[in-house]
Amino acid sequence: MKFRVYICFRKGILDPEAEAIKKTVHSVGFDNILNLSRGKYFDIEINNNDPKKIDELSRKILSNPIIEEYKIKKL
């Protein structure tokens, strides 16, 4: 069974890289972009049907729960 775990910063957490990209986007004429965020994802394949393990892995290892949030999608 395959899962994709999306990880991004929580609302209110400053992401300097996304802010720099947004400034660059505006400087080349894309003024209609109001906000821009970035994140990462992990594709994970497990040999059983226990999504609780994916949640535990995401919470304990893949993300920093203080500044990041995650979503799990079954592929």
What does the domain layout of the chain look like in residue ranges? 2-27+35-74
Indicate the fold that domain 2-27+35-74 takes in CATH.
Mth169; Chain: A , (3.30.1280)
pLDDT band at residue 69, thresholds of 50, 70 and 90? very high
Q: What's the pLDDT tens digit per position in 25-43?
A: 999 999 999 999 999 999 9
* Long-range pairs, 43-50, Cβ under 8 A, ≥24: 43/2, 43/3, 43/4, 43/75, 44/2, 44/3, 44/4, 44/5, 45/1, 45/2, 45/3, 46/1, 46/3, 47/1, 48/1, 49/1
Q: What's the pLDDT tens digit per position in 50-59?
A: 778 999 999 9
Mean pLDDT of 14-18: 94
